[in-house]
C-alpha cells in the first residue's frame, strides 16, 4: 500500500455567524488519500466542497478533529512551517485562476518557488520551462489581463507544478473554460497522474469524475456511504 499523504480524521468545521446561529459545514469527515491516487470529490452546491478544499490543502484548520499532511497534524504546526510544507507538497489549481494581476506569467510561476526559498535563477529557469511545455513561451511577459481564460489557466497549472508537488489539488479547474480548453486541462491532470502525481479534483460536474479512479460524494457536509 502506498503512503497516506492526506488524512482527515473526524473533522468538523463550524463558522460563527455573529448573533445568528453558527453554521456547521463539515460533519465528522473521515478521508484518506494515498500517494498516486486520482480522487474526485463531488457534490451539489452547499455540500461542503469548498471547505473540503481548505482542509485538504491545509488552508484552514478544523473546529474539531485533525488534518494530517504527510503525517503531520497541521494544528500543531506554526504558520511558517505549515506554509513551507504546503508549498512543497500541494499545487493548487483554482477555478478563478488566482493569478497576481500585477505580475507577468513568468513571475506568477516563479512566486511559489520564491516562497520556499528557491534561488531566483533556478526559479526563472524552471518557470520558463514549465510555461514553454504548456505552449506559452510567447506569453512570458504578459500579465493576466493580456491573456485569454485558457492561457490564464495554463499559467495557473504551471504555477501549481512550480515546486514539483506530490499532490495537485484542482478546485473546479474547468469552471471558467470552454469545452476544448477544459478537456485539455483534464487530460493534462490525467498525464500528471500517470507520472505518479496524486490528483484531487473538486467538482460538481459529473462529466469530469470519469477521469478519477475513486469518487467521494459529499452531501450536507457528510460523505455519502
Give me the torsion for CA of 84, 214, 212, 1, rounded to 10°.
60
Average pLDDT over residues 67-91: 93
Is the pLDDT confidence value at 42 over 90? yes
Cell numbers that stand for 122 in this block: 533556478
Is the pLDDT confidence value at 17 over 90? no
Residue 71, by phi and psi: left (phi above 0), alpha (psi -120 to 50) or beta? left
Cell numbers that stand for 1 in this block: 500500500
Please measure the distance between the N-terminal and C-terminal CA atoms of the chain and give it in whole angstroms.
Answer: 23
All domains of the chain, ordered by start, with CATH? 37-53+77-215 (3.40.50.300)
Per-residue model confidence (pLDDT) at position 115: 85
DSSP 139-200: GTT--GGGS-HHHHHHHHHHHHTTT--SEEEEESTTTTS-HHHHHHHHHHHHHHHHTT-EEE
Q: What is the mean pLDDT of the chain?
A: 94
DSSP 8-state symbol, 199: E
Give the model's confidence band at 32: pLDDT under 50 very low, under 70 low, under 90 confident, else very high: very high
Helices 149-160 and 105-115: crossing angle in degrees, nearest 10, is 20
Per-residue model confidence (pLDDT) at position 35: 97
| 138-176 confidence digits (pLDDT tens) | 999 999 999 999 999 999 999 999 999 999 999 999 988
Residues constituting the chain? 225
- How much is the pTM? 0.93
Average pLDDT over residues 180-196: 93
State the Cα–Cα distance between residues 131 and 170, nearest whole angstrom: 18
Is residue 74 a contact partner of residue 82, using CB atoms and an 8 Å limit?
Answer: yes
| 198-223 confidence digits (pLDDT tens) | 999 999 998 899 999 999 999 999 99
Query: For residue 3, which of 44, 40, 32, 41 has the smallest C-alpha distance?
Result: 32
| 113-127 confidence digits (pLDDT tens) | 998 889 999 999 999
Amino acid at each position: 500500500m502506498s503512503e497516506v499523504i492526506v488524512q482527515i480524521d473526524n473533522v468538523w468545521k463550524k463558522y460563527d455567524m455573529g448573533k445568528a446561529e453558527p453554521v456547521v459545514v463539515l460533519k465528522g469527515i473521515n478521508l484518506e488519500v494515498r500517494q498516486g491516487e486520482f480522487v474526485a470529490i463531488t457534490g451539489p452546491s452547499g455540500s461542503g466542497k469548498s471547505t473540503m478544499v481548505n482542509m485538504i490543502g491545509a488552508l484552514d484548520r478544523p473546529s474539531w478533529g485533525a488534518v494530517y499532511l504527510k503525517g503531520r497534524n497541521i494544528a500543531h504546526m506554526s504558520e511558517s512551517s505549515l506554509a513551507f510544507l504546503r508549498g512543497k507538497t500541494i499545487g493548487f489549481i483554482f477555478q478563478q485562476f488566482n493569478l497576481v494581476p500585477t505580475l507577468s506569467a513568468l513571475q506568477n510561476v516563479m512566486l511559489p518557488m520564491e516562497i520556499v526559498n528557491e534561488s531566483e535563477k533556478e526559479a526563472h529557469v524552471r518557470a520558463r520551462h514549465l510555461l514553454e511545455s504548456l505552449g506559452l513561451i510567447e506569453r512570458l511577459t504578459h500579465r493576466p489581463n493580456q491573456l485569454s481564460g485558457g492561457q490564464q489557466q495554463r499559467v495557473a497549472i504551471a504555477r501549481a507544478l512550480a515546486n514539483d508537488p506530490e499532490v495537485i489539488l484542482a478546485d473546479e479547474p474547468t469552471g471558467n473554460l470552454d469545452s476544448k480548453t477544459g478537456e485539455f486541462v483534464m487530460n493534462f491532470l490525467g498525464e500528471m497522474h500517470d507520472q505518479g502525481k496524486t490528483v484531487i479534483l473538486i467538482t460538481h460536474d459529473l462529466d469530469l469524475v470519469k477521469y478519477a479512479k475513486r469518487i467521494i460524494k459529499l452531501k450536507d457536509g457528510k460523505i455519502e456511504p
